[in-house]
Structure 1
Amino acid sequence: MKLNDATVLVTGANRGLGHAIAVELVHREAKVYATARRPELIDVPGAEVIRLDITDQSSVDAAARLAGDVDVLINNAASTAGGNLVTGDLDSIREVMDSNYYGTLAMIRAFAPILARNGGGAVLNVLSAAAWSTVDGNTAYAAAKSAEWGLTNGVRLELAGQGTQVAALVPGLIATRTLLDFASKTGMDLPQDALYEPEELARIALDGLEAGDIEILDRFSGEVKAALAGPPRAPTG
Structure 2
Amino acid sequence: MQAKQSGAAKMDIEGAVALVTGANRGLGKAFVDALLAGGAGKVYAACRQPASHLDERVVPLRLDVMSPTDITAAAKNCPDVTILVNNAGIMLTTPILAPGSDDALRREIEVNVFGVLAMARSFAPLLARNGGGAIINVLSVASWFVNPFNATYCTSKHAALAVTNALRIELCGQGTRVLGVHAGFIDTDMARHVAGPKSRAQDVADQALHGLRVGEDHVLADSSAIEIHDALAADRAAFERGQQSMWDQGASPWTK
Task: Calculate the TM-score normalised by the size of structure 2.
Answer: 0.84
Report SS of the residue matched to 1:2.
Answer: coil
Aligned with residue 161 of structure 1, among 168, 173, 196: 173
State the partner residue of 2:25.
Answer: 15
- Counterpart in 2 of 1:78? 89
Q: What is the aligned-residue RMSD (CA, Å)?
A: 1.5
Is the CA contact 2:184–2:225 (under 8 Å) kept in the aligned structure 1? yes
> Could you tell me how far apart the structure 1 residues matched to 2:60 and 2:205 are?
19
Q: Which moved more, 1:214-223 or 1:5-14?
A: 214-223
Runs of 4 or more above 4 Å deviation: none
Query: What corresponds to 2:200 in structure 1?
Result: 197
Task: Identify which range, 76-85 or 207-216, moves more after superposition.
Answer: 76-85
Are 1:120 and 2:132 matched, yes or no?
Answer: yes
Deviations along 1:131-165, one digit per CA (max 9) or x if unpaired, are 12333331111110110001101110000000111
Q: In 2, Cα distance between the equivalents of 1:88 and 1:38?
A: 31
Identity of aligned residues (%): 38
Q: Which ranges of structure 1 fall in alignment gaps of 5 or more residues?
A: 184-188
Give the letter aligned to residue 201 of structure 2: P
Question: For residues 128 and 88 of structure 1, what CA distance do their matches in structure 2 show?
Answer: 25
One of 25, 41, 62 as aligned partner of 2:73: 62
Matched, 1:216 2:228: no
Cα distance change of structure 1 residues 159 and 88 upon mapping to structure 2, 3 Å threshold: farther
| Superimposed CA distance per residue, residues 86-138 of structure 1 (whole angstroms, 9 cap, x where no aligned partner) | 21422222011100000000000000000000000001000010112333331
Structure 2 gap segments, 5+ residues each: 1-10, 248-256
Given that residues 82 and 96 in structure 1 are in contact (C-alpha distance below 8 angstroms), is that contact kept between their aligned partners in structure 2? no
How many equivalent residue pairs?
Answer: 227
Does the 8 Å contact 1:55/1:103 carry over to 2? yes
Cα distance in 2 for partners of 1:128, 1:78 equals: 11
Give the aligned partner of residue 230 of structure 2: 226
Q: Distance in 2 between matches of 1:177 and 1:59?
A: 24
